[in-house]
Amino acid sequence: MQARPIVDVIIPAYNEAESVPLVIADLPDWVREVIVANNNSTDETPLAAERAGATVVHETRQGYGSACLKGMAYVAGKETPPDIIVFVDADYSDHPEELPDLISPILEQGVDMVIGSRALGSKEAGSMMPAQIFGNWLATSLMKWIYGVSYTDLGPFRAIRYDKLLELGMRDKDYGWTVEMQIKAAKNKFNFAEVPVSYRKRIGESKVSGTVKGTVMAGYKIITTIFKYI
């Protein structure tokens, strides 16, 4: 892989007009393209993303995985594929400027996938709800027990070699997206690493942990996805 890889960033976004420009602005300027997958937003998210310099693609089916898959479909149409795909949330809870640290194990150690671990990094007080912390612990514990793989987080800020991403055949259209990727990577015996990342309170209200319904639905989907691939 060349010294400066071709990196494309996919940002799934639903009603994040206030935060998505900040995410885009904090990404390194050598990123080839930032793709915002607008997930049926009812605010000015698409316009805000375009003004910030991103390419916007539209996915009307509501769902985190659906938005990520739409972004991947756009990348698949490029004449020159990227070396690395980075996923990051649109709510500005992650620190996009940490992208060079995130992809470093791919470049320097030859790993296939890197998870940005909030458990290993520094978290602003109140940035993760107790249900999120418990859910991450339970999910990673189950994956270690069932699949023999040690993760500390299901963090949304992650990087993966593009050819390896295609090998995974990602399908989940909802909350199971992150855990599907990690389980399939383990089953395919990919080399992976975790790096500590910083985490802060998101801008706006969470669509998942901010509601009882969202928390329950996400938890159910994550647990069922873990058992799905046994």
The enclosing domain of 135 has a CATH number of 3.90.550.10
| Gap between the Cα atoms of 115 and 195, Å rounded | 7
Structural domain includes residue 187: yes
Structural domain includes residue 155: yes
Q: What is the pTM of this model?
A: 0.92
Output the pLDDT for position 208: 54
Look at the chain and report how many structural domains it folds into: 1
**Residue 134: its H or E element:** helix 130-147
- Structure tokens belonging to residue 176: 């199971």
Structural domain includes residue 166: yes
Helix, strand or coil, per DSSP, at residue 116? strand
* Cα–Cα distance list, 200 to 10, 59, 98, 124, 128 (Å): 20, 27, 13, 5, 8
Output the pLDDT for position 72: 98
Structural domain includes residue 23: yes
Helix, strand or coil, per DSSP, at residue 123? strand
Structural domain includes residue 17: yes
pLDDT string in tens for the chain (230-residue length): 456 899 999 999 999 999 999 999 999 999 999 999 999 999 999 999 999 999 999 999 999 999 999 999 999 999 999 999 999 999 999 999 999 999 999 999 999 999 999 999 999 988 988 878 888 898 999 999 999 999 999 999 999 999 999 999 999 999 899 999 999 999 999 999 999 999 999 997 765 544 555 567 777 788 888 888 87
Output the pLDDT for position 219: 75
Structural domain includes residue 2: no
- Which residues neighbour 7 within 8 Å (Cβ) at sequence distance 6 or greater? 30, 31, 32, 82, 83, 84, 85, 86, 99, 103
Task: Tell me which residue range forms the domain holding 42.
Answer: 7-228
Structural domain includes residue 1: no
Output the pLDDT for position 4: 86
- Structure tokens belonging to residue 149: 């793989």
